[in-house]
Amino acid sequence: MANALSGVRVLDLTHYVAGPYCTKLLADYGADVIKVEKPGLGDPARSIGPFFHDTPGLEKSGLFLFLNTSKKSINLNLKSKDGAQILKQLVKDVDIVVENFHPRVLPALGLDYEALKDCNPSLVMTSITNFGQSGPYKNYTMDAIVADGMGGWSITVGEPERPPLKIGGYQAEFTAGLQAAMATMTALTYQELHGPGQHVDVSILESVVNMLMSDTILYAYTGQVKIREGVRHRPYPSTVLPCRDGYVGVIGHMPIQWETLCAWMEKPELMDDPRFGTSGLRREHADDLDEILTSWLADKTQDELYHVAQELRIPFGKVMNAEQILHHTQLIHRNYFMSIDHPATGEVKYPGAPFRFKDLPYDIQRAPLLGEHNEEIYGRRLGYRPEEVVRLRELGVI
């Protein structure tokens, strides 16, 4: 059976995180994705850890191997005249180009959307940049900590009396990559229904701000700026506290939940304690309440608390680490993690499908070696003779 995106042809000019995650989603669902990498070095993500067995190498980056599953890799120097011409040849035979260079780069090489559209009038081209294709910030650089800060995420994370915190990992980039994949397929659907191609403009900053809708709407409606609440959320108790083997999310702020929680702790007297009469008072006296809760949680495990809370209809949650997630029974039952065999690492588990189709397969393949598909693409697809491929390699074009 065909995959969801079988027959869709993609030219991937991306690097690092946001762009590769966009094209990974397309590739894993069946699109034919050709990743263009710099000769000798490849995508800079190949040099970012974690590395397999802590041994750096272009083929051992866990970040790269996750972000580039199911793709083909070719080497191509876009700064060379021959490289630019080869790219235009490739563009003629694809539906989509995805790139995440700074807005000034491709126009300077004569490879912007208008130039590539001359090669392929129905082309959908998605450009992922830090701040978008226009505006006073369009050529500024940005990394994850800047995106989290300028996008409004950091100001909401952390304890109110302490400085804001960065979100863990590359969440801004993954968010932009996800939205870019959705936008790309929307543009392709429009092209198939109505004819013209499109240039899709994705801003990482705007992708982050878009996910902060409730906070910006709060200010627009009321003039109120949301403050950091740390692990203590209103109403109370709604927090994270330690137990015997880790941490649990403790929620019991609704009247029936609070009554049930007091009975579970065998402390019915808390119902009559003036410090804890309402969720607001409980928040005001959170230090006292946390001391009581922490003492009660100390000899109980995450699993015990989670399952008893389910029976009592109180929404406790386990705070799980990576080892626990990899062995979680729900994820195992749904075959979420997938084992992928790669020449440089052997078989390793990777996150699987972010969403599923009932009747369409999800067939994730390993990430490519650097330039692994040069012969296939330059020889069989573009028709270059072996001696021509050798000449291009000697000239540093591929």
Domain boundaries, the chain: 9-212+333-394, 238-321
Whole-angstrom distance, CA of residue 140 vs CA of residue 143? 10
Q: Is-contact 335 40, C-beta < 8 A?
A: no
pLDDT of residue 360: 93
pLDDT of residue 228: 86
The pLDDT of residue 319 is above 80: yes
The pLDDT of residue 172 is above 80: yes
The pLDDT-based confidence of 245 (bands split at 50, 70, 90) is: very high
Sheet containing 96-99: order of strands: 72-75, 32-37, 9-13, 96-99, 124-129, 198-203
The pLDDT of residue 250 is above 80: yes
Query: pTM of the full predicted structure?
Result: 0.94
pLDDT of residue 1: 73
pLDDT of residue 213: 78
- The class level of CATH for 9-212+333-394 reads alpha beta
230 Rama class: left (phi>0) / alpha (psi -120 to 50) / beta: left
Give mean pLDDT, residues 27-31: 97
Q: Residue 225 burial by CB count (10 A; 0-12/13-18/19+): exposed, middle or buried?
A: exposed
Average pLDDT, the chain: 95
Q: What percent of the chain has pLDDT over 70?
A: 100
pLDDT tens column, 359-395:
999 989 999 999 999 999 999 999 999 999 999 999 9
Give mean pLDDT, residues 52-80: 97
Q: What percent of the chain has pLDDT over 90?
A: 92
CA angle 77, 81, 82 (to 5 degrees): 70
pLDDT of residue 130: 97
pLDDT of residue 9: 98
Q: Which of 377, 332, 376, 353 is nearest to 4 (CA)?
A: 353
What is the CATH code for 238-321?
Answer: 3.30.1540.10
pLDDT tens column, 198-228:
999 999 999 999 998 788 898 999 998 888 8
